[in-house]
Amino acid sequence: MLVAFDFDGTLSDSEMVVLLGEQCGVADEIDEITERAMNDEIDYAESLRKRCALLEGLDEARAQAAFQQVQLRDGAAAVIDALDAAGVHTAILTGGFERGVATALDSAGTEVDTIVANRLPLRDGGLTGEVEGPLIEGTKDTALDQVASDLGLDRSETVAVGDGANDLPMLETAGLAIGYDPKPAVEDACDVVVSSMAELQTVLEDHGVL
């Protein structure tokens, strides 16, 4: 069994790119673009590039300060640890950034088996304003299928947990689609909707994942 989580807005209530934006005074502009993307009003790849372009020149130390603020939701580490104890493969599929995910997991004292995330390249000690990685043009259904294939699992043996429009591909693909306080444009694609990690754990138990 494979359980794939979105990160920003799902495992974490932080929005990494907004935290980065706060470090260089562009958080409001980034937040507006983020909301439009999550409600499926603007193409995700375009929105991500627009947001990252606003971060050009942010120095590495201030970027790391933003990543240090990224935290898992209450109860998220317990869900991940329970899945690990049950022998379930856990993955994070996020358009967010590797360093923020790794920092949050480390701070919570937990880990997942697979992370598929993007990167913010540096040049001369600062962010270039560009973004690299598999989940810019690539979509989360492809990522989910790849991880499942590597594990020898069928789609029916997968669970996806997400909240925003860029999660739609994996929610529509997975055997079980769980919306975590999903945006209106996403809710119809969800088999189940939860609003806390405790609820999520109960749903996973009810469906025999835990």
Supply the range of the domain harboring residue 27.
16-68
Rg, Å, the chain Cα set? 16
Q: Are residues 49 and 118 in the same domain?
A: no
How sure is the predictor about 131, in pLDDT bands with cuts at 50, 70 and 90?
very high
- The predicted structure's pLDDT at residue 77: 98
Q: What is the CATH number of the domain that holds 48?
A: 1.10.150
Range 27-56 burial, b when 16+ CB lie within 10 A, else e: beebbebbeebbebebebbebbebbbebbe
> If you average pLDDT over residues 81-101, what whole number do you get?
97
Q: Are residues 83 and 108 in the same domain?
A: yes
- Asked about 6 being catalytic, the answer comes back as yes
Residue 15: per-residue pLDDT: 86
Number of domains the chain contains: 2
Q: What is the pLDDT of residue 89?
A: 98
Residue 35's pLDDT is: 85
Once rounded to an integer, what is the mean pLDDT over residues 123-131? Answer: 95
Q: Are residues 153 and 199 in the same domain?
A: yes
**Same domain, residue pair 166 and 123:** yes
The residue assigned the tokens 């980034």 is: 30
Q: What is the mean pLDDT of residues 184-209?
A: 96
Backbone angles phi and psi of 82, in degrees to 5: -65, -40
Residues 64 and 132 in one domain: no
Q: Are residues 125 and 179 in the same domain?
A: yes
| pLDDT tens per residue, range 177-188 | 999 999 998 999
Q: Are residues 88 and 58 in the same domain?
A: no
Average pLDDT score over the chain? 95
Q: Is the pTM of this model over 0.75?
A: yes
Write down which residue in 53, 68, 83 finishes a domain: 68
The pLDDT score that the predictor gives to residue 144 is 98
108 and 93 inside one domain: yes
Do 178 and 92 share a structural domain?
yes
CA atoms within 13 A on the CB side of 60: 8
Of the residues 32, 47, 68, the one at which a domain ends: 68
pLDDT in tens, 136-165: 989 999 999 999 999 999 999 999 999 998
The domain boundary residue, chosen from 50, 68, 86: 68
Residue 37 has a pLDDT of 84
From 6, 141, 163, 167, active-site residue: 6
User: Domain of 126: which CATH number?
Assistant: 3.40.50.1000
Of the pLDDT bands very low, low, confident and very high (cuts 50, 70, 90), residue 176 is very high
Check whether residue 41 and residue 121 sit in a common domain: no
Residues 6+ apart with CB under 8 A from 210: 82, 83, 86, 88, 201, 204
Tell whether 155 and 182 lie within a shared domain. yes
Nearest to 170 by CA among 35, 44, 20, 49: 44
206 is annotated as an active-site residue: no
Percentage of residues in the chain with pLDDT exceeding 90? 90
User: Both 156 and 194 in a single domain?
Assistant: yes
pLDDT tens digits, residue range 42-85?
888 999 999 999 999 999 999 999 999 999 999 999 999 999 99
What is residue 185's predicted lDDT score, i.e. its pLDDT? 86
Give every CB contact of residue 139 below 8 A, 6+ residues apart in sequence: 166, 169, 170
The pLDDT value recorded for residue 55 is 97
